[in-house]
Structure 1
Amino acid sequence: MTNELFNRNRYSAILQAAEDEVITESKVRDVPLPGNRTLALITLDNNQDYKRPNTLGPNTLAQLGELLVTLAQRAGAGEIHAVAVTGKRFNFAAGADLSLVGQIPDTVAARQMAELGHDTLGLFSKLGVPSFALVNGMALGGGLEVALHCDYRVLDSSCPAVAFPETYLGLVPGWGGATITPNLIGIENALRVIIENPLKMNRMLGAEQAYELGLFDRLINPVNFIEDSLKFITAVLDGEKVKRPNEPGKLERAVKWDAAIKIARKSLEQKIGEVPQAPYRALEILAAVKKGDREAGFELENQALGDLVASDQFMASMYGFNLVQKRAKRPVGAPDSALARPITKVGVIGAGLMASQFALLFARRLQVPVVMTDLDQERVDRGVASVQAEIDKLLDKNRISTDTHARLKGLVTGTTDRQQFADCDWVIEAVFEELSVKQQVFSEFEEIVPEDAIMATNTSSLSVAEIGEPLKHPERLIGFHFFNPVAVMPLVEVVKVDSTSDETLATAMAVAKQLKKNAVIVRDRPGFVVNRLLARMLGEVMHAVDTGTSAEVADTALEPMGLPMSPFTLLELIGLKVGAHVLRSHHEPYPDRFFDSASLHDLADRDAKLLKRDGKGSVTGYTRELQAVVGSEGNSPLTAEQLLERTQNALADEVKIMLDEQVVTAAEDLDLCLILGAGFPLINGGLTPYLDRIGASERVFGGTFHTPKILGAATREAAS
């Protein structure tokens, strides 16, 4: 029977490769049930700190497979009447052990990993008795697939996250998830969970959302989770029928399924282009499994994982993922956190759009009074009203309670009386991006705030040191550069100047953490990291337009880079005036590398648009205003290939210069900034591994930013 159901020897190659695996043991105990019945309860436990999630590596899966074979034998002998699987305290399973990915040598081994997952988890439906998943905590990726293979599933209502993050990481749910999910909850819900949510910065489901979608049969209170789960198991064994209203019917399979796939494909093409492989491979599987054939779906998953795990895109994704999950949480260069000062009141200088976003964020996350000011009471009132309206929206969306709603409204005030800043210990300016204006503001407010209050500037392109020149206490100065929209973008560039004290820097890092932002410490150089590289890229694009390259070629030439949006979409998002200012502010200190664009300034002054859109907001072409400036500085058009290579080379050149200038401590911090602050895709690993892989680093300076280890299997094989 062992050979029929599970044979460890089939997977010897992948088991030997995973020698560093942290084993999650499958511990089993018998639990008596009413009616003289017995439940075999499996607990997944990696024997680590309960805060460290269970993961599923090859050896863990093999051990679980052998245990399930034993339980199938016991079921056949009438010793047990049901099998259930749960997790250790607060945790079910976080999916595959991704730390082992670098040890998978080739596509054959990668496919073997997929087959091992299918063969092991598939045993939950071959036990001869009902199987139950008692999901008592986070269930991600392979952890959720464990539950899906069981006949029935219950979920702890306090579970913080249920998700398939695979397409975010360059994979597909490859242990049954892509096949079982649409046949359980319908194609539209499956598209949301498997493709849409991961591509929205890895959005996850809460417990109630997961239950309402139909991924689970019951939502159970954590106080009596095991006891109530056992009651559910008993009821099922006694014959209770479980209804699953979202399971697809004949009409959905015949008509709705293909239509939903077609719409999803078009949406992917518009949002992410065609460079990322994983979302499209997932879409292919979802399209193919509408007849409910599990074996055929599992084979497609095997093929997809075999190809993707060994791909450059996945290796780059893991590099980027590790930056976000590890490096971002331990910022390089941060002083001892014990030096940080407590913040009890925040002052926001300005009451415009950015200032209003600051006020809401600081009030919500720090839970301290926030006072706003501006040139006149009308502007102040508008700013405060904007914040109050956003607080109302949070309540309407059930993201805050009524008590929190009232408290936040009471925390945010506005005034033209600057003396109200006299007890602020953190002051941040969000005024016009002009050096003299910011200097004047800081000079005036320094006379009002306490001597040890932090003076933070949100400048995106000016020198922080020059802004702080009028200060009598420059040690309190820090750059604190957010990205728009402030509530969404996770990055803050913390700009340290020579005068910044360790206490100020430690406080800034602590505040960023309290705001739930990832902070990267950068040197005070023009544009810091994100804006400097975007300016170099956009300068190349606008220069191409000005010298005769068509709008369509200029806007689409960079598509192979897999960027989150096209250059003209980005310019319209940030605003043409801001874009023109950014290009000029970089051209002035570096005229030999950064192109200014008189035509962009002209378009900005006329409040022109670059893109034509239909009634749904989809881009349909380019405006006459943009077409009119093509060739305004000459007629030397570039092909798409030429512009792409020029831009790649320019970025490699700028990265090398920035690292030589020590704008950040390492290429990893630069990549982290671009991933978190500009949405650079994980499938590139940010920017520097991409520049290495496509040869731009070699073309520009005859080297690479990284060792071959992180560049991907395909790249390593090509190099050898």
Structure 2
Amino acid sequence: MADTVFKLNRAGSAALVTIDNGEDHRVPTTLGRSAFESAVAVLEELERGEWSAAVFTGKPFVFCVGADIDEFGRIDDPRDGIRAGHALFARIRALPFPTVAAINGACLGGGLELALHCHARTIASNVRHVGFPEVALSIIPGWGGTQLLPKLVGPEAAARVIVLNPLRQNTLITAPEAVELGIADRLLEPVEFVDESLAFAESLAVEREAPDWSALEDVVRKTRARVDDAVHGATRAPYVALDLIAGARDWTIEEGYAAEEDAMAELLVSAQARAAAYSFTVVERRAKRPPNLPDAKPRTVQKVGIVGAGLMAAQLATLFLRRLEVPVVLRDLDQARVDEALAAIREQVTPFLGSIVDGGTDWTSFEGCDLILEAVYEDLDVKRDVLAQARAVAPDAILATNTSSLSVEGMGADVALHFFNPVAVMPLVEIARTPHTTDEQLATAWDVVKKLKKRGVLVADAPGFVVNRLLTRMTTALMGARLEDADEAILSLGMPMAPSVLREMVGPAVAQHVLETMHGAWPERFPLEAAAGAENRSVEEIRDDAVDAVADEVRHLLAEGVVADPADVDACLILGAGWPLFLGGAVTRSGKIPA
């Protein structure tokens, strides 16, 4: 991979600086040692030359996604990297002519901090990824972001972007939102974007209202409460970031830089930051083709059938419509239920997509389907029956199941596509094959999941696959404990949901059914009743028992070959169960360290 460089070109009397790593948009541009050396050389040219303005932009579809985490993680003293960023960006801020960041694509972390050091910012209307993901990695923006953003947009908007969004599954903002918040000054169309940004820079006149700090104490109080709800004090980074945002009201930029440096230097070498970096790498690897995926050509899916018309079926139909834009047909025993599902789906999609979804009680509508996905009640006989009827009318279709615990082979499905609720939010799909799954069927399943913009993990056809098996094993460790103690024990890990809330969301009957399925396979590890004395444990003991139970079950999963790569277990937990990045996964706790 080529090193990132800053390329300086003259555009009339203005300077155009392009940040480029020589790769296409699939390899985002980051800032490491070579980028800094290149930027220093460009700044020297800018400082000694005569320029009317300077515009900083990125290669096609990418502005800059921040620091090269791997490279900065190898620096002996983290303060060196933090100070280097502060010094470099301060020179951009001090240039004696107008500077504009022309945000033409993904702009994250240190890339956004670079943009904030410019006098103004333009942004292309198609940009969808702007933000500070650092808090999700148990660190903070360390190159001025915690100081410049609140001084620009005020503490409330800054707290949303820096603190709260990373805790909401790393939510990023779009170009229109960036303009609305005041992060960007002009929203421009992608066509002629650079030329219009240059013209804007050469006639720069931006009037901004001073940020409103009057409600700072209220913002801090409310944000801290939301952070408590999200992480329950399990990680320091969001609290540190909030303190720095609050400090920006009274500190000079130099004082803010110093506070950032102290905080970042401590967080960057913490165990949580190292764990989060591992977790991030694990998740990113899941976006790539796994080595154990057959080298077969996937089938083209031009029509999809969904068996069922409940909440999950409606969510699945909506997802397939939006992402694949092919006809989708629902089938259920109850026409009124189908009509209700269709109405809910059509409310969420465009009129065109609403016109290509249909449903009824007749199986003949499934004729011509390339993929049929069942989403009925978690009962093996029921699933076996509906899949048999589906195969009778569409013998060439790939039959998939959304089961969370039952045997894929036993019900007669070709493959499992296990989505997580809510479907629109949860990124994981567990893809399970059976001994009878063909290479084409598995390749098609993977291709469909990718087109749905989900993260697939290949798993074996084993009860509970990965996520439900591990979560169920965790719940067995909670048996006998007081409900409040069990909830506190799990929330203290930073988990997103208390066990009692999860059970209610899943449904007690479904949760019990999954437990009984696990008990049938491994009765000694999945008991139906609490062990003697389990009610006398402290919250700390309950938490330790739960973590130990998960680690033990991971060892069994790996020994059975449920996944090909140990890191797949952690990817499943992070993507499917909301396992916090700063816990570093469960594989390391099991003693099986992934390569």
Smaller-chain TM-score range? Answer: over 0.9
Q: Provide the residue aligned with 1:300 in structure 2.
A: 259
Alignment of 1:55-66 (within 5 A): 55-66=30-41
State the one-letter code of the partner of 1:422. Answer: E
Q: Provide the residue aligned with 1:592 in structure 2.
A: 524
Alignment of 1:436-451 (within 5 A): 436-450=381-395
Instruction: Assess if the C-alpha contact under 8 Å between 2:113 and 2:143 holds in 1.
Output: yes
Q: Provide the residue aligned with 1:279 in structure 2.
A: 238
Q: Provide the residue aligned with 1:569 in structure 2.
A: 501
Instruction: Assess if the C-alpha contact under 8 Å between 2:156 and 2:219 holds in 1.
Output: yes
Aligned pair partner of 1:537 in 474, 480, 489: 474
State the one-letter code of the partner of 2:179. Answer: Y
Instruction: Assess if the C-alpha contact under 8 Å between 2:371 and 2:397 holds in 1.
Output: yes
Instruction: Assess if the C-alpha contact under 8 Å between 1:22 and 1:46 holds in 2.
Output: yes
Q: Provide the residue aligned with 2:366 in structure 1.
A: 421
Aligned pair partner of 1:324 in 276, 283, 288: 283
Unmatched tracts of structure 1, length 5 or more: 1-20, 33-37, 392-404, 469-475, 599-630, 692-696, 698-703, 711-720
State the one-letter code of the partner of 1:657. Answer: H
Aligned pair partner of 1:140 in 90, 105, 108: 108
Q: Does residue 660 of the first structure (1) align with residue 555 of the second (2)?
A: no
* Deviations 1:57-88 (CA, angstroms, capped at 9, x unpaired): 133223323432443233xxxx3343332223
1:149 & 1:635 partners in 2: Cα distance?
Answer: 57
After TM superposition, give the deviation of residue 636 of structure 1 in Å.
4.5
2:592 & 2:113 partners in 1: Cα distance?
Answer: 37
Instruction: Assess if the C-alpha contact under 8 Å between 1:65 and 1:121 holds in 2.
Output: no
* Deviations 1:537-562 (CA, angstroms, capped at 9, x unpaired): 11111x232xxxx3322221234422
Q: Provide the residue aligned with 1:191 in structure 2.
A: 159
After TM superposition, give the deviation of residue 456 of structure 1 in Å.
0.9
Q: Does residue 407 of the first structure (1) align with residue 352 of the second (2)?
A: yes
State the one-letter code of the partner of 1:446. Answer: R
Q: How many residues align?
A: 595
After TM superposition, give the deviation of residue 201 of structure 1 in Å.
1.5
Q: Secondary structure at the match of 1:104?
A: coil
Q: Secondary structure at the match of 2:192?
A: helix
Instruction: Assess if the C-alpha contact under 8 Å between 1:26 and 1:64 holds in 2.
Output: yes
Q: Secondary structure at the match of 2:569?
A: helix
* Deviations 1:170-208 (CA, angstroms, capped at 9, x unpaired): 221110111000010111111111112222212111111
Q: Secondary structure at the match of 1:526?
A: coil
Q: Secondary structure at the match of 1:268?
A: helix
2:452 & 2:439 partners in 1: Cα distance?
Answer: 20
2:125 & 2:484 partners in 1: Cα distance?
Answer: 50
After TM superposition, give the deviation of residue 656 of structure 1 in Å.
0.4
Name whichever of 453-462 and 156-165 sits farther off. 156-165
Alignment of 1:309-708 (within 5 A): 309-338=268-297, 340-391=298-349, 405-450=350-395, 452-468=396-412, 477-541=414-478, 543-545=479-481, 550-597=482-529, 636-689=535-588, 691=589, 697=590, 704-706=591-593
1:59 & 1:184 partners in 2: Cα distance?
Answer: 30
1:384 & 1:84 partners in 2: Cα distance?
Answer: 49
Name whichever of 188-197 and 290-299 sits farther off. 290-299
> What is the TM-score with the length of structure 2 in the denominator?
0.95
State the one-letter code of the partner of 1:93. Answer: C
State the one-letter code of the partner of 1:172. Answer: I
* Deviations 1:341-360 (CA, angstroms, capped at 9, x unpaired): 11121111111111111221
Give the direction of change, closer, same or farther, for the CA distance of 1:584–1:175 in structure 2 (3 Å limit): same
Q: Does residue 72 of the first structure (1) align with residue 47 of the second (2)?
A: yes
Q: Secondary structure at the match of 2:393?
A: coil
Q: Provide the residue aligned with 1:157 in structure 2.
A: 125
Aligned pair partner of 2:5 in 22, 25, 32: 25
After TM superposition, give the deviation of residue 641 of structure 1 in Å.
2.2
1:446 & 1:527 partners in 2: Cα distance?
Answer: 25
Q: Secondary structure at the match of 1:86?
A: strand
After TM superposition, give the deviation of residue 577 of structure 1 in Å.
2.1
Instruction: Assess if the C-alpha contact under 8 Å between 2:122 and 2:185 holds in 1.
Output: yes
Q: Provide the residue aligned with 2:186 in structure 1.
A: 218
Alignment of 1:26-105 (within 5 A): 26-32=6-12, 38-49=13-24, 51-74=26-49, 79-105=50-76
Instruction: Assess if the C-alpha contact under 8 Å between 1:329 and 1:518 holds in 2.
Output: no
After TM superposition, give the deviation of residue 378 of structure 1 in Å.
2.1
* Deviations 1:500-538 (CA, angstroms, capped at 9, x unpaired): 111111111111112111111111111110000000011
Alignment of 1:86-125 (within 5 A): 86-105=57-76, 109-125=77-93
* Deviations 1:675-715 (CA, angstroms, capped at 9, x unpaired): 111111111222223x2xxxxx4xxxxxx2117xx8xxxxx
1:180 & 1:337 partners in 2: Cα distance?
Answer: 51
Instruction: Assess if the C-alpha contact under 8 Å between 2:267 and 2:273 holds in 1.
Output: yes
State the one-letter code of the partner of 2:198. Answer: L
Give the direction of change, closer, same or farther, for the CA distance of 1:503–1:29 in structure 2 (3 Å limit): closer
State the one-letter code of the partner of 2:443. Answer: A
2:535 & 2:579 partners in 1: Cα distance?
Answer: 30
Q: Secondary structure at the match of 2:287?
A: helix
Give the direction of change, closer, same or farther, for the CA distance of 1:467–1:100 in structure 2 (3 Å limit): same
After TM superposition, give the deviation of residue 426 of structure 1 in Å.
1.2
State the one-letter code of the partner of 1:432. Answer: Y
2:193 & 2:342 partners in 1: Cα distance?
Answer: 45
Please tell me the root mean square deviation across aligned C-alpha atoms, in Å.
Answer: 2.1
Instruction: Assess if the C-alpha contact under 8 Å between 2:100 and 2:197 holds in 1.
Output: no
> What is the TM-score with the length of structure 1 in the denominator?
0.79
* Deviations 1:428-454 (CA, angstroms, capped at 9, x unpaired): 11122111111222222222212x211
2:102 & 2:458 partners in 1: Cα distance?
Answer: 43
Give the direction of change, closer, same or farther, for the CA distance of 1:56–1:499 in structure 2 (3 Å limit): same
Give the direction of change, closer, same or farther, for the CA distance of 1:136–1:381 in structure 2 (3 Å limit): closer
After TM superposition, give the deviation of residue 312 of structure 1 in Å.
1.6
Unmatched tracts of structure 2, length 5 or more: none
Give the direction of change, closer, same or farther, for the CA distance of 1:385–1:530 in structure 2 (3 Å limit): same
Name whichever of 635-644 and 183-192 sits farther off. 635-644
1:457 & 1:52 partners in 2: Cα distance?
Answer: 34
Runs of 4+ aligned residues of structure 1 deviating over 6 Å after TM superposition are: none
Instruction: Assess if the C-alpha contact under 8 Å between 1:544 and 1:554 holds in 2.
Output: no
Instruction: Assess if the C-alpha contact under 8 Å between 2:32 and 2:72 holds in 1.
Output: no
